[in-house]
Amino acid sequence: MLGETYKTQSFREDTVFVFFSEGVQGVVPKIVVLDQKEENVWNLGFGDTTENGMDDSAITNNGDLIKVIRTVTHIAMEFLKSNPQKRIHIQPVDKKRKRLYNTVFKRKEEPIMKSPAVQFFCF
Task: Return the pLDDT at 34.
Answer: 95
CA atoms within 13 A on the CB side of 24: 7
Determine if the pTM surpasses 0.75: yes
Return the amino acid letter for 35.
D
For 92, which DSSP code?
Answer: -
Report which of residues 83 and 7 the model is more confident about. 7
Q: How far apart are CA 104 and CA 123, in angstroms?
A: 12
pLDDT score at 110: 57
Q: Are 79 and 12 in contact (CB under 8 A)?
A: no
- The answer on pLDDT for 24 being more than 90 is yes
